[in-house]
Amino acid sequence: MAELTYRDAVAAGIAQEMERDERVVLLGEDIGAAGGVFKATVGLFERFGPRRVRDTPISEQAIIGAAMGAAMTGLRPIAEIMFSDFFGVCWDMIANEIAKTRYMTNGQVALPLVIRTANGAGSRFGAQHSQSVENWAMAVPGLKVVAPSSPADVKGLIAAAVRDPDPVIVFEHKSLYSVKGEVPDGEALDALGAAKVLRTGKDCTIAALALMVPRAMEAAERLQAEHGIECEVIDVRSLVPLDTRTIMGSVVKTARLFTVEENPRLCGWGAEVASLVAEECFWDLDAPIVRITTPHVPLPAADSLEDATIPSVERIVDTVQRAMG
């Protein structure tokens, strides 16, 4: 076991796959010699050279398009979109081209590619560099979507994404890059579509994603310590495929569900989870499902405002405690 930061685990996951498979190539802005603006690709350029690790112009459509064209002709590209907000400038390539091409060609075209991107708030970057847009991707049929919350997960899920025969969007979280965690030695290979129960509890289920996972965990500690409420915490990890079994299995046990979403309220991933659980676990629920989300507003930049906008440990504790009280 080595202790790695989340950002180093990203690089480690990519390196592992590049080592293993010559078809894996990397492209994006400033990812090469500079090691990426979040330093998540440090060392790869030196190790694998400019043929496999390629800096690009500021041309997100070209980046994603190139990844798509390369994937359909035998490579396994990993494209970086520096901030997930920039999905806006290449959304056609992601949502209309990559997501639909296998289907439209009746399976003739395969697109084994990965799009990595820095998602989420916490850096005081303002409304155009802090969004959580995992729900944008989840809403588009044809994309697989993961959002790891720990160094070990990010390494294993990147490996799984690279080996997957379908396009996978990996949402890395900006505010997790500097977080450290144990990462098992040896080959990392996780599975897409598997949620993880991080903490068991009998009173209620909290489903969270990415940065919201450590917050939910801390909230669960406090709910236990201060209010005697035993929360089961699920790291959803993968939005598509969605591990409804794990989530519903927990709800059947606890009869209560809270979701903690960083995406703004309307049509967030929690809405989908809530609609599924409300339908299929209707008779199991003892009380309404409560969604804890970023309010439906763009994100403010100032530190004080930003901190008060996305779900905090306090807000989770308060909401759960009030609902359970």
Contact residues for its own copies, defined by CB under 8 A: 85-89, 91-96, 99-100, 103-104, 126-128, 135-136, 138-142, 240, 263-272, 274-275, 278-280, 282, 285, 287-291, 296-298, 300-301
List Cα–Cα distances, 50 to 7, 27, 61, 111, in angstroms.
21, 10, 21, 23
* 43 vs 88, beta carbon nearer its own copies: 88
- 29 binds another protein per the rule CB under 8 A: yes
Number of other CB atoms surrounding residue 107 within 10 Å: 8
228, interface contact from its own copies, another protein, ligand TPP, none, CB < 5-8 Å by kind: none
Residues 54-93: x where in contact with ligand TPP by CB under 6 A, - otherwise, as a string = ----x-x---------------------x---x--x----
For residues 241-279, one letter each, b for 16 or more C-beta atoms within 10 angstroms of the residue's C-beta and e for the rest, the string is ebbbebbbbbbebbbbbbbbbbbbeeebbbbbbbeebee
- 30 binds another protein per the rule CB under 8 A: yes
* 61 vs 321, beta carbon nearer another protein: 61
* 129 vs 155, beta carbon nearer another protein: 129
**For residues 10 and 4, what is the distance between their CA atoms, to the nearest angstrom?**
10
Sign of the torsion angle spanned by Cα atoms 105, 69, 110, 36? negative
Q: Quote the tokens at residue 242.
A: 């969605």
Pairing of strands 168-173, 144-146: parallel
278, interface contact from ligand TPP, its own copies, another protein, none, CB < 5-8 Å by kind: its own copies
Number of residues that make up the chain: 325
Q: Which of 129, 173, 227, 296 is catalytic?
A: 129
Instruction: Kindly state the smallest distance separating residue 164's Cβ from its own copies, in Å.
Output: 17
Instruction: Kindly state the smallest distance separating residue 93's Cβ from its own copies, in Å.
Output: 8
Residues 228-267: x where in contact with another protein by CB under 8 A, - otherwise, as a string = ------------xxxxxx-------------------xx-
Amino acid identity, position 180: K
Are 9 and 152 spatial neighbours (Cβ–Cβ below 8 Å)?
yes
Are 173 and 120 spatial neighbours (Cβ–Cβ below 8 Å)?
yes
- 29 binds ligand TPP per the rule CB under 6 A: yes
Determine whether 129 is an active site residue. yes
**Token pair 């930003």 in the structure block, residue:** 306
279, interface contact from its own copies, ligand TPP, another protein, none, CB < 5-8 Å by kind: its own copies
Instruction: Kindly state the smallest distance separating residue 43's Cβ from ligand TPP, in Å.
Output: 21
- Which positions are annotated as active-site residues? 129
